[in-house]
A and B are shown apart, each in its own frame.
Chain A
Amino acid sequence: MSTPATATTVRSSIVVEAPIERAFRVFTEDFGRFKPPEHNMLGVEIAETVFEPRVGGHLYDRGVDGSECRWARILAYEAPTRVVFSWDISAQWQVETDHEKTSEVEVRFIAETPQRTRVELEHRNLERHGDGWEGVSAGVGGDDGWPLYLRRFADLFAEEG
């Protein structure tokens, strides 16, 4: 389902049996129904997740007590083919208020047939979430693991030819 892209990009894609308009609509309107629930940044249960359908809008969770957590900014909204939003969540799964330290997610919808749509997701610029890695590095400790990372890195270049 996914292919390594670069060390600082995550790519994932899926083909769904649905027309492109429906694929786009479900992705944006029903985002809260399919996003993994384990990373709730509110202190309470999420009542709904709202994906505001416009550039400048937000993707946010609203808690059952009315509290809100705005964790993404909508950067592009081009129904039914493309949407881009920021990922204002730090490596520690806290809301990141410094936009310089946020990554972004682009989702493209491609009609393979009138009834089938390919959805390609790219989460890029992960290196911007840099602060806080020092803690992770210290936890790993020692020099073990570096050859593995280098090998992985080399594989990426090999793939790009």
Chain B
Amino acid sequence: MDALTALGEPTRRAIFEQLAERPRAVVELAHVLPVSRPAISQHLKVLKQARLVTDRAAGTRRIYRLDLDGVGALRAELERYWNQALAAYKAIVEQPTEEER
């Protein structure tokens, strides 16, 4: 499931927004959202597969947080790459062709 599809579900969107505020454990999310802990765990699994959240163990709990900085960095780099490529492409494609010279 891609990121946008994953966020199309209201509860996952709410979890995502909670984690955007600060990292939280499942029990904390269950406290602020009207959803059972198993349901939240299931949603977190989907968000994790979509690379929107990441988790780490902290004692007996797992702390979840957003995982967007990685994709943000890659995206910025590829945006630079393609803008540069298309600008160079335009310069080449607009050069007079042999028969026009």
Task: Give chain A's interface residues, CB within 8 Å of chain B.
Answer: 1-2, 6-8, 10, 12-14, 16-18, 22-23, 26-27, 30, 33-36, 39, 91, 119, 121, 123, 125-127, 129-130, 132-134, 136-137, 140, 143, 145-147, 149-150, 152-153
Residue among B2, B54, B70, B88 with the most chain A CB within 10 A?
A: B70
Task: Report 17 cross-chain contacts, Cβ distance below 8 Å, ordered by A residue.
Answer: A1-B86, A6-B4, A12-B86, A14-B86, A14-B89, A16-B89, A18-B94, A27-B89, A30-B89, A34-B86, A34-B89, A134-B70, A137-B54, A140-B69, A146-B22, A149-B68, A153-B68
A147 and B69 CA atoms in complex are apart in Å by 11
Q: Is the CB of B72 within 8 A of A146?
A: no
Residue among B67, B74, B81, B94 with the most chain A CB within 10 A?
A: B74
Q: Is the CB of A2 within 8 A of B22?
A: no
Contacts of B76-101 to chain A: CB distance below 8 A = 78-79, 81-94, 97
**Contacting B93 at CB < 8 Å: which of A12, A22, A134, A149?**
A22
**Contacting B54 at CB < 8 Å: which of A22, A125, A134?**
A134
Q: Is the CB of B93 within 8 A of A35?
A: no
Extra A-B contacts (17), CB below 8 Å, given A16-B94, A27-B89, A150-B17? A2-B83, A7-B3, A7-B4, A7-B71, A8-B3, A8-B75, A12-B83, A14-B90, A16-B93, A18-B94, A22-B93, A26-B92, A33-B88, A34-B91, A123-B82, A133-B69, A143-B65
With both chains docked as a complex, state the minimum distance between the C-beta of A105 and any C-beta of chain B, in angstroms.
8
Q: Is the CB of B71 within 8 A of A8?
A: yes
Closest chain B residue, CB of each to CB of A91: B74
Q: Is the CB of B92 within 8 A of A10?
A: no
Q: Is the CB of B92 within 8 A of A149?
A: no
**Contacting A137 at CB < 8 Å: which of B2, B67, B90, B91?**
B67
Closest chain A residue, CB of each to CB of B82: A12
Q: Is the CB of A127 within 8 A of B51?
A: yes
**Contacting A7 at CB < 8 Å: which of B21, B22, B68?**
B68
A62 and B92 CA atoms in complex are apart in Å by 21
With both chains docked as a complex, state the minimum distance between the C-beta of A22 and any C-beta of chain B, in angstroms.
7
